Amino acid sequence: MRRKLVAGNWKMNGSLAANAQLLAGIKAEFADGACDVAVCVPYPYLAQCQQLLDGTSIRLGAQDLSLHESGAYTGEVSATMLMEFGCRYVIVGHSERRAYFGETDDLISRKTRRAIDSGLIPIVCVGETLSQRGAGQTEVVVGNQIEAVLSLLSADDLSRIVVAYEPVWAIGTGKTATPDMAQEVHAMLRRRLREKNAEAASNVRILYGGSMKPDNAAELMAMSDIDGGLIGGAALKATDFLSIVCKG
């Protein structure tokens, strides 16, 4: 039985005051139990959020990591640094990084490898654009994205990753994949994972992301291969985030 994971992706949002208010709101109503919960916050706020989440079961994550361990890489942040601030998770290959920062399947695969080697759990994002879906290429595109990552992983590594299916056309748009549409891609992803390691594949959590909200979270997470959510906009409001967590 896979335990659901609801992870907030704050993206480039927040401030010291706003984060304190948001986490206070989440902590006040958060009941340990049904599912795992994490927040992936901007780098400068890791220390603040680590402190505010201390003693809770809400885990901390980052939104990216460097391919490199240390050295002359201006602007980069290493996995070891993230670990020092208590990160358990790191988002890798978000479509915004693919689209705006030129991240390729190859780079994303190597970042995934780096995260695992450093003891972080990568949340590896895959997803098709609207035109790719319109052209009937969803399976090819998403399949190629996951295959690139799997090519650098061993069978055992599958127990150390989370996958997130995020159709690009659903991110931040208010448009959500229907539960059946999402389930179809999640099932395909699990088939690909099974080819690598049948046993471990049944334990890999595959999250859905893309305008998941309180009013659609339950029906999405009821699907057999949807094991939680990667939440953008709705993660910035304590009541919305908690409401999604409750449905996990």
Is residue 76 exposed (0-12), middle (13-18) or buried (19+ Cβ within 10 Å)? middle
- Which window, 77-85, 104-112, 155-163, 208-216, contacts ligand PGA (CB under 6 A)? 208-216
- Which window, 43-51, 59-67, 107-115, 226-234, contacts ligand PGA (CB under 6 A)? 226-234
**Active-site position among 147, 166, 184, 219:** 166
Pick the binder of ligand PGA from 64, 128, 166, 227 (CB under 6 A): 166
134 binds ligand PGA (CB under 6 A): no
Q: 102: which DSSP letter?
A: -
Pick the binder of ligand PGA from 230, 238, 242, 244 (CB under 6 A): 230
Region of residue 14 (left: phi > 0; alpha: psi -120 to 50; beta: else): left
Its sign, for the CA torsion 214, 23, 66, 113, is negative
94 catalytic? Reply is yes
CB of 194: closest distance to ligand PGA in angstroms?
25
Pick the binder of ligand PGA from 108, 120, 121, 171 (CB under 6 A): 171
231 binds ligand PGA (CB under 6 A): yes
The three-point CA angle 36-207-61 to 5° equals 55
In the complex with ligand PGA, the residue whose CB is nearer, 5 or 196, is 5
**Cβ–Cβ < 8 Å for 58, 27:** yes
Distance CA 134, CA 75 (A): 37
Q: Which strand (E) or helix (H) includes residue 205?
A: strand 205-209
166 catalytic? Reply is yes
Q: Write out the catalytic residue numbers.
A: 94, 166
Q: What is the contact surface with ligand PGA in residues (CB under 6 A)?
A: 9, 166, 171-172, 209-212, 230-234
